[in-house]
Chain A
Amino acid sequence: MLVRTNVNGERRETDVWPGSSLLYLLREHLGLPGSKNACEQGECGSCSVWLDGELVCSCLVLAAQANEREVRTVEGLAAGEAMHPVQEAFVETGAVQCGFCTPGFVVAVADLLEQVPEAPEAVVREALSGNLCRCTGYEKILEAVRLASDRMRIREDEL
């Protein structure tokens, strides 16, 4: 079946098997492998994307449900060569071990900081409860959130 979506600002038309997930559409049809395929049951968060501005697990969205909707993936975060502040913060704090969970975390953190720019740690932990890192590198990830939060607020003030 034909699915028309707007992915990272671009109109895309894809012919998918009706049982496909949005994750499969993104990775296998559109060549956007940033969203990772791991648990396929909404436990790990490594496939996190925005669907009409809402943070979702793309493995649990039927591709057809994204028809005529807007999808934003981790690939849409950087502005050209300039990384998103959350991406910068992950690099600078070394919040990456094997890197598999990273895109999902980056998307979830960006979503959180868009809604709550100054999130206390308890709120951060709650917001990231649906993203798993099996290298157990959470401490650095929390550090990255703090750094990104500070930077984003400073940039906000400069505007």
Chain B
Amino acid sequence: MAASNPDVVPIAGGTDVMVELNMDLGRPETLMDVSRLPELAEWRRDNGHLFLGAGVTYTRIMRELPEHTALVQASRSVGSPQIRNRGTVGGNLGTGSPAGDALPVLAAWDAEIVLARPGGSTRSVPWREFLTGVKQTAREPGELILGARWNVPRGPGSFSKIGTRNAMVIAVANLCLQVDEVGRSIRVALGSVAPTVVRAHDAETFAAQAFEEADAWDDPGATLASDAVEGFGELVATAANPIDDVRGTSAYRRHAVAVMGRRALSWAIEDRRSGVGA
């Protein structure tokens, strides 16, 4: 169906698509209900990887994938119970909003997006190439997002989000930090502070080096100098390229990601010390 009509809009939980329809912001020629496709509704582990079907709801992620801490934390921060019962990671990907809460997690986990092409073949696109701009993705007409796949990292990770309420908010800024004990790296991704989710590469390099210098990779009990944590936060902020909008100013967003970065690194150090995520 998608192949014969490339303008078809897939609808799963409807938490984005229905808003467009209800507000008369868009009137797609054809809608295709993908909420009953069993392939999209499953997740599976294979060979150190996790494949998360595009149709798995945030409620199900919280219930069924508790060990994927950062993704669970991001899922918990999405909307309300009503929204989490319907909303899916596939929807975050399809919409491609820079504020999508699951996206910094997928970026920090170096996920690839799996797409079904007309005719039945599939292709995988690294998240970085998939998210091309504000609400723009590399999904081609007629393609359907099957899900995301990533190499499950070993080490603590977290998701943080700043909004005006504790629930039911679109992020002013959000951040995912993941320690990769095997690759000896620290990965940080930011949302809602640039046209797409971005990784804070300078901060990542800085943190990995600080871990090296403190001998923290071999000694999880090691602490970092407090100015290292400060410096990390400042470098995180340099990766942001935010705008002023109704949700917050550019200056506030930079400040927010610096604070979130600093806190996330402190939590990770604390988690390593107490053996969480090991």
Contact = CB atoms under 8 A, between A and B. Distances in A.
A42 B11 contact: no
A54 B85 contact: yes
A130 B167 contact: yes
Interface residues of A, number: 26
Given A60-B19, A62-B18, A62-B31, A45 B85 contact: no
Given A65-B33, A126-B167, A129-B166, A41 B82 contact: no
A19 interface: yes
A60 B165 CA distance: 22
A42 B17 CA distance: 11
- Interface size of B as a range: 20 to 34
A42 B82 contact: yes
Contacts of A147: none
| Interface of A: prevailing SS | mixed
Contact of B86 (A41, A56, A64, A108): A56
Nearest to B14: A60
Interface string B97-138: 000000000000000000000000000000000000000000
Contacts of B168: 43, 129-130
A59 B19 CA distance: 8
Interface in A36-54: 40-43, 45, 48, 54
B70 to A, nearest CB: 19
Contacts of A137: none
A65 B13 CA distance: 9
A111 B13 CA distance: 19
A21 interface: yes
A57 interface: yes
Interface in B10-40: 11, 13-15, 17-19, 21-23, 27, 31, 33, 35
Interface in B46-92: 59, 79-83, 85-86
Interface string A49-87: 000001111011110110000000000000000000000
Q: What are the 6 A-B residue pairs with the smallest beta carbon separation, nearest first?
A: A130-B80, A129-B167, A40-B22, A60-B18, A41-B19, A60-B14
